């Protein structure tokens, strides 16, 4: 299983907003420059983050984007789910009815456990924790 570029860039954008929260709204072009992502690509990602309730936009000359809630209240799992949807390694984990074998399938149990492990790791990491770790590394 591989996360999409959309999820990776979305997580980086959210981390950038968390790191710059004290400075007020962040302009998209500044966010794009710092993250090495095109403005056009971010314009495709931000609406999903906005709809998920993680980002809000501020209009005007000093406008831009900022976190809609505290970084300690946003997990990496929530961000990725907003951008990507469920992180099932195989379709039968989300929709067991798709596979007639799912009730008696030993591998189905493994895939379900894989999903639980991924959800557990990503759900345990908040933006605030990632921002703290970023500061330690830089």
Per-residue pLDDT of 15-34, as tens digits, reads 999 999 999 999 999 999 99
- CATH number of the domain within which 85 lies: 1.10.10.10
Report the C-alpha gap between 59 and 90 in whole angstroms: 41
Residue listed under structure tokens 């709809």: 51
Strands 64-67 and 55-58, bridge-based pairing: antiparallel
Q: Work out the mean pLDDT of the chain and round it to a whole number.
A: 91
Strand partners, 91: none
Per-residue pLDDT, 66: 96
Report the C-alpha gap between 7 and 13 in whole angstroms: 10
For 78-128, write each residue's pLDDT tens digit: 999 999 988 877 777 777 777 777 677 888 888 888 889 999 999 999 999
Q: Which domain holds residue 108?
A: 5-137
Let me know if 36 is exposed, middle or buried by CB neighbors in 10 A (0-12, 13-18, 19+): exposed
Indicate the number of domains in the chain: 1
């Amino acid at each position: 299983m591989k996360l999409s570029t959309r999820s990776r860039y979305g997580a980086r954008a959210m981390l950038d907003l968390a790191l710059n929260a004290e400075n007020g709204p962040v302009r998209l072009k500044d966010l794009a420059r710092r993250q090495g992502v095109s403005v056009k690509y971010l314009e495709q990602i931000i609406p999903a983050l906005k709809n998920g309730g993680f980002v809000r936009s501020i209009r005007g000359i000093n406008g831009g984007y900022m976190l809609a809630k505290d970084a300690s209240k946003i997990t990496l799992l929530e961000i990725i789910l907003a951008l990507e949807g469920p992180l099932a390694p195989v379709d039968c984990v989300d929709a067991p009815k798709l596979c007639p074998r799912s009730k008696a399938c030993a591998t189905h149990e493994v895939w379900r456990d894989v999903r639980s492990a991924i959800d557990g790791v990503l759900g345990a990491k908040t933006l605030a924790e990632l921002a703290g770790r970023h500061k330690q590394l830089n």
